[in-house]
A and B are shown apart, each in its own frame.
Chain A
């Protein structure tokens, strides 16, 4: 049988993990990306903040808004 303080520690630990997982999910939900695949088979994740990625992301956002 676990000592009482261990039970409390485990509970606190479990709540902390839940909170961390929630934050990770939230970050993931808000993540935007531009992924391009070329005919050569190569794939590129365009880094956000570059002019190419921003232009593509802006065009995509407008398209999504139009529905």
Chain B
């Protein structure tokens, strides 16, 4: 997976996520080494704090592999979703729909991972359709 392609894809999915989630304050995608791939915040301290949160969550999930987390405080909420070796951290306002937010984040991470690996938005299904079409038309020039 090219780092540039992944960073571009991650930036794009963060923009899409911001459009989907009106309550989203900031978000960032991190790799398995807790290094930021793309963040909506330009503040370096935000990335460091998000990495610290991911570290704390890893430490908190003793003996288990973290899938997602939801932390609520009086001032806002933080969602974390891990997928395909990437982690998405999002800060939102209070009382967002947790399951919907987590779902959108997971889809965003899948898109970033897929586009970052050069599969494109259609993923493997586009290839399957193309291959099927070619197979159907094999030997027929008027198809």
Contact = CB atoms under 8 A, between A and B. Distances in A.
Interface of A: 29-40, 42, 46, 52-53, 55-57, 59-67
Counting chain B CB atoms within 10 Å of each CB, the highest count among A59, A63, A64 belongs to: A63
Interface in B10-60: 25-26, 41, 43, 45-46, 49-50, 52-53, 56-57, 59-60
A63 B89 contact: yes
Given A56-B71, A59-B56, A64-B73, 8 more contacts: A32-B73, A37-B69, A38-B66, A55-B59, A56-B60, A62-B49, A64-B91, A67-B46
Contact of A63 (B50, B61, B65, B70): B50
Nearest to B94: A29
12 contacts: A34-B69, A36-B57, A36-B61, A36-B69, A38-B66, A39-B64, A39-B66, A60-B73, A63-B46, A63-B78, A65-B75, A66-B45
Nearest to B45: A66
A57 B71 CA distance: 7
Contacts of B77: 64
B117 interface: no
A39 to B, nearest CB: 4
Interface of B: 25-26, 41, 43, 45-46, 49-50, 52-53, 56-57, 59-62, 64-78, 89, 91, 94
Counting chain B CB atoms within 10 Å of each CB, the highest count among A33, A37, A42, A52 belongs to: A37
Contact of B76 (A37, A59, A64): A64
Nearest to A53: B60
A61 B60 contact: no
Contacts of B26: 66-67
